[in-house]
Structure 1
Amino acid sequence: MSDWWYRNIIEPGKLPLLLALFAFVATFVITRTITRLIRAGKGPFRNISSGGTHIHHVVPGIILMTIGGFGAVASSTHGFGAGLAAVVFGIGAGLVLDEFALVLYLDDVYWSDRGRKSVEAVVITFSLVLMLLGGLAPFEVNSLSADQQQNRLTAIATIVVNFLFVLAALVKGKFRTAVVGVFVPFVALVGALRLARPDSLWAERLYGRRPKTAHRAELRAAKHAARWRGPTRRLQDWLGGFTEH
């Protein structure tokens, strides 16, 4: 275990990334707990206002992300400075992504249905960082053979092809598939080949004159929603502290 820890975390300089991830998750959990207490009117916590303006925690989050980001750039991947910058950045990222929906919609939708976008953003970020810690590299660059690494043209072609798969999945409205496909090309390939979501740019541009394909896309989207909407919402409710009113 100690050998694995050294090879995969400390030796390659991944300790700051691990510290940032811990700080990110802890901040999200603590922030959600405090906001739930404020909403319920329990405990000593209250919303912060200045001059009648509600100061959302995305504001200090942006400040901390800025400090941590520049601190990380100015430091190496080892030492106390790198670790401190990583923790500060992780705390800031946790505060910002906890209000991702507010930034996306430019509206205070924290406890509404649209507010679940924040939980989704946190889960996706956590998953991606975890894959980075596990040794995965974007577009499977780490899977290139020694010959491919020496042949720059082959390496570039591999990255470009994988990127096109990701882009196709994204245009087809498969955001989660595209994000995972950045690290696992096979996933992006599946997303690129399957039918687009009916509300996607791909469907809007290409399915207009293909009513049968558009109908199949709508049926598939409806089946997917019926199968996964309930479990997904329950998971989001559990992570985000949403309650029915």
Structure 2
Amino acid sequence: MWTLAQGGWFRREIVDTGLLPLFVFLCSFIAGFGFIRLSVRMIRAQVRWWPGNIRHGGLHIHHVVFGVVFMVVSGVSLILVNAPSDTEKSVLAGVFGVGAALVLDEFALILHLRDVYWTEAGRTSVDAVFVAVALCGLVLLGFRPFALIDLAAYQADPTAGKAVLLAAYLVLQLGLAVVTLLKGKVWTGLVGLFVFPLLLIGAFRLSRPEAPWARWRYRNKPKRLARAVRRDERWRHPVISAKIKFQEFLSGRHDLPDKWRDR
């Protein structure tokens, strides 16, 4: 039977590589997000036995407040603990993960400075959670940003030539990532930091029609803009529809009238 003591994948790839705190962070982050989404959906459904919103007087205290407290407490504790052990770091990472989940679940509220939780704009919060889970998952699976890989190689053998090549590569990678993001390809740009060919694809292919790049570069190129619109409708719209259905399955619909904003 597979056990940690026998040196399975978990011990070899997570524990022995010092990634246990990140693993605990990711697990607590997912658990925190799952719980808070269950809670707000129960409140939204007006389930009588489920505790309602937390209020002080007439003030609705959003869960992002508790998330900030958890993050600050765990972060300061990690700073204050002298040479923390893996167990201590893992415990604090777990607290930080729960706090981060509560904060990112209301990321749209922070971004818009108003309660848009159950509106279309509230989907931004779920997108932020998905991005955080994906990036942490890539690191746990052994992927590393190419910049960190090259930096490690340079530190192992620091020479002037390698320093120049490293600086040039970092500039290239950053430039391609910026162009990709300006073209409206957020996922491609972020994952491309781990898988470099994606940055090349994202940077040199057509921009999405609503992205800043299209507004700046396609204004006087109606044919290119029309191609971008056709490609977007053919390929991106089905993917977005599938993503929205998955989001609604996990977190509920984000299209209720304004009266539902105060959960």
Q: TM-score normalised to the size of structure 1?
A: 0.90
Equivalence map 1:149-228=2 (5 Å):
150=157, 151-228=162-239
State the alpha-carbon separation in 2 of the partners of residues 16 and 141 from structure 1.
Answer: 19
* 1:92 paired residue number: 99
The answer on 1:68 being equivalent to 2:80 is: no
Aligned partners of 2:55 and 2:61 also within 8 Å: yes
**For the aligned residues, what is the CA RMSD?**
2.3
After TM superposition, the structure 1 stretch with the greater mean CA deviation from structure 2, 127-136 or 155-164, is 155-164
State the alpha-carbon separation in 2 of the partners of residues 14 and 88 from structure 1.
Answer: 16
Q: What is the Cα deviation at residue 176 of structure 1?
A: 1.3
Q: What is the Cα deviation at residue 134 of structure 1?
A: 1.6
State the alpha-carbon separation in 2 of the partners of residues 226 and 206 from structure 1.
Answer: 22
Q: What is the Cα deviation at residue 40 of structure 1?
A: 1.2
After TM superposition, the structure 1 stretch with the greater mean CA deviation from structure 2, 52-61 or 73-82, is 73-82
Q: Answer 1 or 2: higher relative contact order, Cα 8 Å, separation at least 6.
A: 2
Q: What is the Cα deviation at residue 182 of structure 1?
A: 1.5
Q: What is the Cα deviation at residue 154 of structure 1?
A: 2.2
State the alpha-carbon separation in 2 of the partners of residues 94 and 5 from structure 1.
Answer: 24
Amino acid at match of 1:49: R
Q: Percent identity?
A: 38
Q: What is the Cα deviation at residue 233 of structure 1?
A: 1.3
Aligned partners of 2:123 and 2:254 also within 8 Å: no
After TM superposition, the structure 1 stretch with the greater mean CA deviation from structure 2, 19-28 or 137-146, is 137-146
Aligned partners of 1:71 and 1:82 also within 8 Å: no
After TM superposition, the structure 1 stretch with the greater mean CA deviation from structure 2, 205-214 or 65-74, is 65-74
The answer on 1:110 being equivalent to 2:121 is: no
Which of residues 45, 64, 71 in structure 1 aligns to 2:51? Answer: 45
Aligned partners of 1:140 and 1:185 also within 8 Å: no
State the alpha-carbon separation in 2 of the partners of residues 145 and 27 from structure 1.
Answer: 34
Q: What is the Cα deviation at residue 144 of structure 1?
A: 7.8
Which of residues 12, 19, 28 in structure 2 aligns to 1:23? Answer: 28
State the alpha-carbon separation in 2 of the partners of residues 37 and 128 from structure 1.
Answer: 29
The answer on 1:10 being equivalent to 2:15 is: yes
Kindly report structure 1 stretches of 4+ aligned residues shifted beyond 6 Å: none
Structure 1 residues 229, 95: CA separation in 2 closer, same or farther (over 3 Å shift)?
Answer: same
Aligned residues: 245
| Unaligned 5+ runs, structure 1 | none
Amino acid at match of 1:237: E
| Unaligned 5+ runs, structure 2 | 257-263
Structure 1 residues 80, 147: CA separation in 2 closer, same or farther (over 3 Å shift)?
Answer: closer
Q: TM-score normalised to the size of structure 2?
A: 0.85
Structure 1 residues 73, 139: CA separation in 2 closer, same or farther (over 3 Å shift)?
Answer: farther
